[in-house]
């Protein structure tokens, strides 16, 4: 009787287990479906990994510049000025414009002549307008004066022409100095704003991530300032060296030409009449130097 009473209870237990864990559920999932699910899961993991890498490694330059804030505007203006002056000085400080090759050869030929005619040298200056020609014309107008005065006139003229050639290079020096300062100012302002905004966050918000974003956005202006300042400084030193080299060559050429006119000291002076250099005899007892008519070149 006890066994007969327990049998219905055991049957009910087995029926409940069968309902809770039906064996047909396991039989419905085949091995092919499991393999397909694994392939799909791996593909999802790969796509999510690519998206994470692209979101981390990808950096849009334009959006990064926009996040630099209002201080990017003056830095951008300075960058345009730097580009403008680099192009201007690259054209204006060419050796062919400061001291043309043909004029250099003419000066070398005149330096080898014992009887060099100042009037022919003046015509050569008119044929090759340049900074060197301006210095030579200044020297020709002082011929006949004491040699120290002629040398002082040459030095003054060289200084004027060098300052004129170096004028726009000073703007590159200024840009190289103020661009990093503007970038640093933008960074300091960005850090202040980032820390201030961090204090305004609600409870539970991630302050570290929010602060990291603010800091890297603030550093954009410093990066932009350095990008502008470094080329400006390099270009400034390059143009400064070119000015020094070319005008040193002009001074050397004139030092070789000047002795050819020493015999006019105290005898003749020269003045410009129209487009020609005319000699003027000094009212002294000394005989003036004889000048033949200028030979056409």
Cα–Cα distance, 153 to 165 (Å, whole number): 18
Burial of 258 (0-12, 13-18, 19+ CB in 10 A): middle
Q: Please state the pTM of the whole predicted model.
A: 0.67
3-state SS of 169-230?
HHHHHHHHHHHHHHHHHHHHHHHHHHHHHHHCCCCCCCHHHHHHHHHHHHHHHHHHHHHHHH
DSSP string, 150-161: HHHHHHHHHHHH
Instruction: Note whether residue 138 is domain-resident.
Output: yes
Query: Is residue 34 domain-shared with residue 134, that is, in the same domain?
Result: no
CB 65 within 8 A of CB 186: no
Average pLDDT by stretches of 10, the chain with 297 residues: 50 51 47 59 49 49 72 91 92 86 90 85 90 90 87 91 89 93 90 80 70 80 92 94 91 89 78 76 53 51
Instruction: Note whether residue 199 is domain-resident.
Output: yes
Instruction: Note whether residue 78 is domain-resident.
Output: yes
Instruction: Note whether residue 54 is domain-resident.
Output: no
Query: Is residue 15 domain-shared with residue 112, that is, in the same domain?
Result: no
Query: Is residue 11 domain-shared with residue 97, that is, in the same domain?
Result: no
Query: Is residue 132 domain-shared with residue 80, that is, in the same domain?
Result: yes
Q: Give the model's pLDDT for residue 40.
A: 61
Instruction: Note whether residue 63 is domain-resident.
Output: no
Instruction: Note whether residue 259 is domain-resident.
Output: yes
- Beta bridge pairs of residue 268: 281
Report which DSSP code applies to 270: E
Instruction: Note whether residue 84 is domain-resident.
Output: yes
When divided into structural domains, the chain yields a total of 2
Cα–Cα distance, 68 to 16 (Å, whole number): 68
Cα–Cα distance, 294 to 195 (Å, whole number): 81
Query: Is residue 20 domain-shared with residue 106, that is, in the same domain?
Result: no
- The 3-state DSSP class for residue 62 equals helix
Query: Is residue 38 domain-shared with residue 84, that is, in the same domain?
Result: no
- Beta bridge pairs of residue 80: none
Instruction: Note whether residue 56 is domain-resident.
Output: no
Query: Is residue 20 domain-shared with residue 92, that is, in the same domain?
Result: no
Which helix (DSSP H) or strand (DSSP E) does residue 280 occupy? strand 276-281
Query: Is residue 36 domain-shared with residue 75, that is, in the same domain?
Result: no
Phi, psi (degrees; rounded to nearest 5) at 271: -140, 155
Query: Is residue 7 domain-shared with residue 91, that is, in the same domain?
Result: no
Q: Give the model's pLDDT for residue 27.
A: 44
Query: Is residue 226 domain-shared with residue 92, that is, in the same domain?
Result: yes
Long-range interactions of 208-211: CB distance < 8 A, separation 24+? none
Query: Is residue 141 domain-shared with residue 179, that is, in the same domain?
Result: yes
- Where in the sequence is the domain holding 74, given as residue range(s)? 70-281
Cα–Cα distance, 175 to 157 (Å, whole number): 29
Query: Is residue 23 domain-shared with residue 163, that is, in the same domain?
Result: no
């Amino acid at each position: 009787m006890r066994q007969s009473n327990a049998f219905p209870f055991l049957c009910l237990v087995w029926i409940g287990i069968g309902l809770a864990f039906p064996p047909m559920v396991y039989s419905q999932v085949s091995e092919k479906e499991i393999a397909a699910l694994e392939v799909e899961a791996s593909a999802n993991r790969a796509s999510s990994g690519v998206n994470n890498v692209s979101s981390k490694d990808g950096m849009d330059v334009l959006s990064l510049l926009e996040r630099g804030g209002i201080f990017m505007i003056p830095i951008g203006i300075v960058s345009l000025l730097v580009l403008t002056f680099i192009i201007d000085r690259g054209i204006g400080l060419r050796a062919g414009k400061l001291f043309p090759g043909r004029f250099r050869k003419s000066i070398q030929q005149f330096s080898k002549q014992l009887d060099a005619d100042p009037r022919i040298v003046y015509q050569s200056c008119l044929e090759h307008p340049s900074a060197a020609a301006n210095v030579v014309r200044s020297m020709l107008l002082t011929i006949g004066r004491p040699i120290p005065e002629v040398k002082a006139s040459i030095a003054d003229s060289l200084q004027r022409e060098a300052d004129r050639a170096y004028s726009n290079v000073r703007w590159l020096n200024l840009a190289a100095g103020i661009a990093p300062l503007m970038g640093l100012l933008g960074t300091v302002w960005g850090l202040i704003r980032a820390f201030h905004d961090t204090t305004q966050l609600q409870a539970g918000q991630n302050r570290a991530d929010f602060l990291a974003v603010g800091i890297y956005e603030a550093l954009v202006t410093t990066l932009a300032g350095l990008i502008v300042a470094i080329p400006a400084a390099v270009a400034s030193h390059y143009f400064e060296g070119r000015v020094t080299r070319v005008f040193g060559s002009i001074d050397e050429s004139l030092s070789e030409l000047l002795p050819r006119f020493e015999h006019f000291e105290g005898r003749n002076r020269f003045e410009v009449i129209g487009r020609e250099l005319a000699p003027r005899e000094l009212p002294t007892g000394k005989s003036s130097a004889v000048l033949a008519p200028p030979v056409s070149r």
